[in-house]
Chains A and B, each alone.
Chain A
Amino acid sequence: MVDLRELIQKVSQAKNKLELQSLKTQFLGKNSQINQEFKKLGSLTEDERKRRAGSLNNEKQKITEAINNRFRELEKSEINQKLEKDKVDVTLPARERPNGKIHPVSQVIDEISSIFSEIGFSVAEGPDVETEYNNFTALNTPEDHPARDMHDTFYLDDNKKILLRTHTSPVQIRTMLSGKPPFKIIVPGRTYRCDSDQTHAPMFHQLEGLHIDKDITMGHLKGCLDYFVKEFFEVKKLKMRFRPSHFPFTEPSAEVDIGYRLENGRIIVGEGDKWLEILGCGMVHPNVLKNAKVDPKKFQGFAFGMGIDRLAMLKYGINDLRSFFEADYRWLNYFGFDPLDVPTNYRGLSR
């Protein structure tokens, strides 16, 4: 007969895994007492054998269980001992993960596209190098029109026929010539004028908008811009004023001011009592439609243009336009956006 209690006690007192292993061989191995007992079973009667085998198996199981328990206990204490020694200073610097950033202009273009996407505009493009015809003449700005003086133009040839576009408006012409109405597009893009000082850069970004259909009125223009400006600045209440103005390619033409106030030197767009001009717009001039092979008797609509860089400056409190284009590591890091911060309608435009 095996003294189960004694065996189990021995097992539970094993000091380490090695000792436990040798106890296991001793108690359960080939030459163990219990194994000997099993061997004897053959000589017993069937009844006897059944009973004896049952109790032997029971004993074996208890020993095994005790060994396993002890093994787990020993392992646990081994791990704990190891952990006791294995401590790092978690306040050491984490491993480098480089941080990329999206330029504010790109971020704002994404925001704008997302807003206009919601009301059915799609994004169109055109070349940076343009003909004098598309940039001026087709836009109802003939050669001796004083409005041309307002655009300090970069030319690529001495005859002044090829230029860097001074606005995104020539894309209106290209879009209309290459398709059939209705047209409902926005055009974000690079534009160029050869003046350069604190508030002007020789290159900047414009957003053009064009909506031509059978019955688009100035009321639609107002509604569209009211929607855009509120969405863009993420405000529910906003003062907005349409002021008559003049652009050769729209008539009637308007400039749009929004209300703002200053708070700690920052512009807060909304209901303040100051006015800030943010865009120009109007009903597309019939001559422009004619030049773009659209029948002004059947179709009409509006166009608008605004400075993307300026919108970015206003929304994100950036003071210096020229810094946009200087690729200063510190500036890009400070004003840039996390690449995962993608403006969307449902997750929100900005964090």
Chain B
Amino acid sequence: MIITLSWLKNHLTTSANLSKIIDKLTGIGLEVEGVKESQGELSDFKVAKVIKAEKHPNADKLKLCDVSLGDNKIIKVVCGAANARDGLVTIYAPPGSVIPKTKMKLKVVKIRGVESHGMLCSESELNISNESDGIIELKNSEKHIGKNYFKSKGEKSIDISITPNRPDCLGVRGIARDLSSSGLGKLKKQPSIKINQKFKNPIKVSIKKEKHQGCGIFGSVYIKNVQNKESPDWLKKRIISLGLKPISAIVDATNYVMYDLNRPLHAYDADKIDQEIIVRNSKIGESFEALDNKTYKLKNNMCTISDKSGVLGLGGIIGGTRSGTELSTTNILLESAYFFPSSIRKTSKSLDIDTDAKYRFERGIDPGSIRLGLELGMCMILDICGGEASKFSIVGKIKDERPTIDLELEKFLKVIGFSITIGEIKKILISLGCSLKISGKKIKVIPPSWRPDIKEDIDLIEELIRIKGFDKISLVRPEKIRTKETLSFKQKLFHLSQRAVANKGYLEAVTWSFTDSRIDKQFAQGKKEIEIANPISNDLNVLRRSIFSNLIIYLKKNQDRGYPDISLFEIGPIFFGNKPGEQEIVLGGLKSGVANRKSWDAQTRNIDVFDVKADAMKTLLELGIEENDLHISNKTQNYYNPGRSGSVNLKSENGTILALFGEIHPAIVSTLDLKEKNVCGFEIFLKNIPEFKKKHRFYKKNYFVSEFQKSERDFAFVIDKNYKAGDIEKLISEVDKDIIKKVLIFDVFEGGNMPEGKKSVAINVTIQSMDKTLSQKDLDQVSQKIINVVKAKTGGTIRS
């Protein structure tokens, strides 16, 4: 909503200056978004006289004009307008000024070899009208030569953001009322109107009684013998200050009333109405051409203003071209009606129409403003265009749905924190237009008809504190007491795993929850696609089913930027259905490239499955899972390289899956055309991390270490190539749990002189007893036992 100070002062007597008004507006919830020097840049434009206009020496269609601003100087301007002629008073824009229409800044330029110092303007160039045929011709303006054309210099327009609950402030008067209520002036009385309205409105109006009827009241006045014309300057300027274009006196007057009182009006060319006005629901298939020059096909039950021939317009939304007013119009029907917000909203959404009237009606127009709107509109038209007005015809009636609200004095104290007196309540609410009945501490309030937002006591409390000022509320310092843990177990896991993985060299990415279905399907594991009905683009059309979907896109982008060795991770939701809750938190890491690229002392090597295995395992340990409970297997998913990936399950192969790790399937890497083909990843499924019933410290065994000598023995077994290293480790550690403290595979060897299908595994075993130093004999016995068990269980032999 844009207002100017002078317009505001039509409704408000105030001595406050602009900055005070701006502060107050913001203070009472009418947020000032900006103040524009609306006419400021226009102060460059001067009234000027063309002393002499002659043909340009080098161009047939151009003229070279001598322009005077009333002093002795002659300004040379090249002009292309046909009407540029000797003696014409017009508007001159000097170099440096900005043309409102094109936003172009003028410079001194040579046009066909002759310098032009500025230009002469058309109405269209100054955004005054669409008239672009020739330059402006000012009549009787000799005395203004040299002066600013736009006289209202210093008139600033204030841009106010009106919240959807305040339709009344979509009119200047509503804003003036709020300001006066807050003590910044006095609201002026609306002038009373005395017009001789002798004849009856000759156009019959009826509102059809039917279900879903969107119109409650239809008021109208017939004005005959008008002479439509351009609006006078004062009206044009007000219309321009709103950011609108002046069209004709009749249209400008209806717009003026809409912005002045938040009372939309519509003017019909009465001669184009076929017999009578019928307000009725549309039927599917009906159509009409609207004033935006589009043809709308209507569905059932849209509120139309029709005549005998068909639809004229959509009530409260947009009028039609068939009955539109023109400069030649002589008889008009002026409409002031009430349409129900829900009907307006439904129709405009369905047809995708947004107009000023629609915006207002869907927020709620004062049903009590019908007569006032007709009066003001009629007076303006009669003033400017002449003519004779009929009596008002007002058809229809709506129920007064304003509630009577019980307001208890204590309620304000209870919600806001300090008390208010009955006197203050009375003063504020009455100034806002409420009617009050007070008995003791009980107050009964009926809100004004222009405030559909006031329905219950809390709405009144808001009005009271809004007008009193939020700065009156003194703050209560928060107490530093905590009765509940800040984070749940899962939330702690989230934060811990996030920092654990970052600490392993991964950069945390935050990417969209939606992704490109073509990439998502690579990682989807057959889960159903979750489409977004209205995506912002085709490559963000589904909710991600894997944490890798976006991460790999961004990995690729970074590779393309020239960073092949990169580690990224994200922790966030992935989705497995389109119902609330069908999502889980997953941490995914991706790593590409090599380790030790260009290193002076270390071998460059491809990063591989064991890098990501280490990252996944270490993270799980850091999350509090015991190493013994991590079971590794080569079970995997099809987006990993089948031979170079695995899974970590809780306790056994069939335990819940804690993590997956491995090299990303080369087919996916190739499909996505990644520059660096060597890509590994891991995923940790946070929902599967078990929550301990007791604190970790209670699970720890008592601290007990051996004081006796520890020994190490190395073994090398030749075993079947497919026998898993992890299984041998487990096998050996279980040979004698009391004294075998650690089993470590330190070499694996295949080929060479190994028999076909076999491999050599070198194992280091740490042996230590809790109660004695083991003798040579003891050690030999354990070693033999290890050899025997390995042989029995794997068929492997000790390498001599």
Q: Which residue of A lies closest to B505 (CB)?
A: A98
**B471 & A242 in contact (Cβ 8 Å cutoff):** yes
Q: Which residue of A lies closest to B490 (CB)?
A: A125
**A223 & B476 in contact (Cβ 8 Å cutoff):** yes
Complex Cα gap A339–B506 (Å): 10
Residues 381 to 425 of chain B near chain A (Cβ within 8 Å): 414-418
Q: Which residues of B contact A224 (CB under 8 A)?
A: 478
The 8 A CB mask of A212-251 against B (1 = contact, 0 = none) is 0001011110111011000000000000011111100001
Residue in A99, A243, A286, A330 whose beta carbon sits within 8 Å of that of B470 in the complex: A243
User: Would you give the shortest CB distance from B514 to chain A, in whole angstroms?
Assistant: 8
Complex Cα gap A143–B543 (Å): 25
Other than A100-B567, A218-B416, A252-B458, give 15 A-B pairs with Cβ distance below 8 A: A103-B508, A103-B510, A129-B578, A144-B362, A149-B164, A156-B530, A194-B536, A218-B417, A219-B474, A219-B476, A227-B477, A251-B459, A327-B557, A333-B507, A339-B503
**A106 & B508 in contact (Cβ 8 Å cutoff):** yes
Q: Which residues of B contact A184 (CB under 8 A)?
A: 484
Q: Which residues of B contact A155 (CB under 8 A)?
A: 532-534
Q: Which residue of A lies closest to B550 (CB)?
A: A327
Q: Does B345 contact A (CB under 8 A)?
A: yes
Residues 102 to 119 of chain A near chain B (Cβ within 8 Å): 102-103, 105-106, 110, 113, 116-119
**A122 & B502 in contact (Cβ 8 Å cutoff):** no
The 8 A CB mask of B532-568 against A (1 = contact, 0 = none) is 1111100010010000000100100110010100111
Q: Which residues of B contact A215 (CB under 8 A)?
A: 414
Q: Which residue of B lies closest to A119 (CB)?
A: B478
Q: Which residues of B contact A196 (CB under 8 A)?
A: 536
Give the most central of A184, A227, A245, A333: most B CB within 10 Å.
A245
Q: Which residues of B contact A93 (CB under 8 A)?
A: 599-600
Q: Does B59 contact A (CB under 8 A)?
A: no
User: Would you give the shortest CB distance from A258 to chain B, in whole angstroms?
Assistant: 14
The 8 A CB mask of B691-731 against A (1 = contact, 0 = none) is 00000000000000000000000000000000000000000
Q: Which residues of A contact B557 (CB under 8 A)?
A: 326-328
Give the most central of B165, B482, B501, B508: most A CB within 10 Å.
B508
**B31 & A243 in contact (Cβ 8 Å cutoff):** yes
Task: List B residues at the A interface (Cβ < 8 Å).
Answer: 26-29, 31, 163-166, 341-342, 345-346, 362-363, 414-418, 456, 458-459, 461-462, 465-466, 470-471, 473-488, 491, 495, 498-514, 530-536, 540, 543, 551, 554, 557-558, 561, 563, 566-569, 572-573, 575, 578-583, 595-596, 599-602
**B466 & A203 in contact (Cβ 8 Å cutoff):** no
**B478 & A227 in contact (Cβ 8 Å cutoff):** yes
Complex Cα gap A285–B532 (Å): 31
Q: Does A123 contact B (CB under 8 A)?
A: yes
A-B pairs with lowest CB-CB distance, top 3: A98-B505, A244-B29, A246-B163
**B512 & A119 in contact (Cβ 8 Å cutoff):** no
Residues 146 to 161 of chain A near chain B (Cβ within 8 Å): 146-147, 149-150, 154-158, 160
Q: Which residues of B contact A220 (CB under 8 A)?
A: 417, 476, 478
User: Would you give the shortest CB distance from A178 to chain B, in whole angstroms?
Assistant: 12
Give the most central of A92, A116, A252: most B CB within 10 Å.
A252
User: Would you give the shortest CB distance from B720 to chain A, in whole angstroms?
Assistant: 37
Q: Which residues of A contact B500 (CB under 8 A)?
A: 339
Residue in A102, A121, A283 whose beta carbon sits within 8 Å of that of B499 in the complex: A102
User: Assuming the A-B contacts A127-B581, A336-B508, are A113 and B558 also in contact, with contact meaning beta carbons closer than 8 angstroms in the complex?
Assistant: no
Complex Cα gap A263–B341 (Å): 48
User: Would you give the shortest CB distance from B410 to chain A, in whole angstroms?
Assistant: 12
Complex Cα gap A244–B27 (Å): 7
**B512 & A127 in contact (Cβ 8 Å cutoff):** no
**A113 & B487 in contact (Cβ 8 Å cutoff):** yes
Give the most central of A95, A103, A324: most B CB within 10 Å.
A103
A/B interface sample: 12 pairs, CB < 8 A? A100-B504, A100-B505, A129-B579, A129-B582, A146-B363, A227-B478, A243-B27, A251-B458, A251-B459, A286-B458, A329-B561, A339-B499
Task: List A residues at the B interface (Cβ < 8 Å).
Answer: 92-93, 95-103, 105-106, 110, 113, 116-123, 125, 127-131, 134, 144-147, 149-150, 154-158, 160, 162, 164, 184, 190, 192, 194-196, 202-203, 215, 217-220, 222-224, 226-227, 241-246, 251-255, 283, 285-286, 300, 324-330, 332-333, 336, 339-340, 342
User: Would you give the shortest CB distance from A322 to chain B, in whole angstroms?
Assistant: 11
Complex Cα gap A328–B569 (Å): 12
Q: Which residue of B lies closest to A107 (CB)?
A: B508
**A327 & B568 in contact (Cβ 8 Å cutoff):** yes
**B414 & A120 in contact (Cβ 8 Å cutoff):** no
**B499 & A342 in contact (Cβ 8 Å cutoff):** yes
Complex Cα gap A149–B573 (Å): 27
**A244 & B470 in contact (Cβ 8 Å cutoff):** yes
Q: Which residue of A lies closest to B572 (CB)?
A: A190
**A96 & B599 in contact (Cβ 8 Å cutoff):** yes
**A252 & B462 in contact (Cβ 8 Å cutoff):** yes
**A122 & B416 in contact (Cβ 8 Å cutoff):** no
**A128 & B573 in contact (Cβ 8 Å cutoff):** yes
**B513 & A119 in contact (Cβ 8 Å cutoff):** no
Q: Which residue of B lies closest to A333 (CB)?
A: B507
Q: Which residues of B contact A127 (CB under 8 A)?
A: 580-583
Q: Which residue of B lies closest to A222 (CB)?
A: B475
Q: Which residues of A contact B417 (CB under 8 A)?
A: 217-220
Residue in A146, A255, A283, A325 whose beta carbon sits within 8 Å of that of B415 in the complex: A283
Complex Cα gap A292–B561 (Å): 50
Q: Which residue of A lies closest to B166 (CB)?
A: A246
Complex Cα gap A332–B561 (Å): 14
**A117 & B486 in contact (Cβ 8 Å cutoff):** yes
Complex Cα gap A132–B398 (Å): 31
**B601 & A120 in contact (Cβ 8 Å cutoff):** no
Q: Which residue of B lies closest to A340 (CB)?
A: B503
User: Would you give the shortest CB distance from B9 to chain A, in whole angstroms?
Assistant: 24
Q: Which residues of B contact A97 (CB under 8 A)?
A: 505
Residue in A190, A245, A300 whose beta carbon sits within 8 Å of that of B573 in the complex: A190
User: Would you give the shortest CB distance from B428 to chain A, in whole angstroms?
Assistant: 13
**A222 & B473 in contact (Cβ 8 Å cutoff):** yes
User: Assuming the A-B contacts A144-B341, A154-B534, A332-B509, are A253 and B462 also in contact, with contact meaning beta carbons closer than 8 angstroms in the complex?
Assistant: yes
Q: Which residues of A contact B581 (CB under 8 A)?
A: 127, 129
User: Would you give the shortest CB distance from B517 to chain A, in whole angstroms?
Assistant: 14
**B415 & A156 in contact (Cβ 8 Å cutoff):** no
Q: Which residues of A contact B502 (CB under 8 A)?
A: 100-102, 339
User: Would you give the shortest CB distance from B678 to chain A, in whole angstroms?
Assistant: 16
Q: Which residues of B contact A242 (CB under 8 A)?
A: 470-471, 473
**A252 & B466 in contact (Cβ 8 Å cutoff):** yes
Complex Cα gap A95–B598 (Å): 11
**A219 & B416 in contact (Cβ 8 Å cutoff):** yes
User: Would you give the shortest CB distance from B248 to chain A, in whole angstroms?
Assistant: 31
User: Assuming the A-B contacts A155-B533, A219-B473, are A246 and B165 also in contact, with contact meaning beta carbons closer than 8 angstroms in the complex?
Assistant: yes
Q: Which residue of B lies closest to A97 (CB)?
A: B505
Q: Which residue of A lies closest to B364 (CB)?
A: A146
Complex Cα gap A224–B480 (Å): 11
Give the most central of B164, B495, B503: most A CB within 10 Å.
B164
Complex Cα gap A202–B341 (Å): 30
User: Assuming the A-B contacts A222-B473, A324-B510, are A122 and B486 also in contact, with contact meaning beta carbons closer than 8 angstroms in the complex?
Assistant: yes
User: Assuming the A-B contacts A106-B510, A123-B487, are A100 and B164 also in contact, with contact meaning beta carbons closer than 8 angstroms in the complex?
Assistant: no
Residue in B479, B499, B540, B580 whose beta carbon sits within 8 Å of that of A131 in the complex: B580
**B510 & A245 in contact (Cβ 8 Å cutoff):** no
**A162 & B579 in contact (Cβ 8 Å cutoff):** yes
**B509 & A218 in contact (Cβ 8 Å cutoff):** no
User: Assuming the A-B contacts A128-B583, A243-B27, A327-B511, are A251 and B462 also in contact, with contact meaning beta carbons closer than 8 angstroms in the complex?
Assistant: yes
Q: Which residue of A lies closest to B575 (CB)?
A: A129
**B509 & A103 in contact (Cβ 8 Å cutoff):** yes
Complex Cα gap A227–B596 (Å): 48
Q: Which residues of B contact A285 (CB under 8 A)?
A: 458
Complex Cα gap A89–B308 (Å): 100
Complex Cα gap A93–B597 (Å): 13
**A329 & B482 in contact (Cβ 8 Å cutoff):** no
User: Assuming the A-B contacts A122-B487, A156-B533, A252-B462, are A328 and B558 also in contact, with contact meaning beta carbons closer than 8 angstroms in the complex?
Assistant: yes
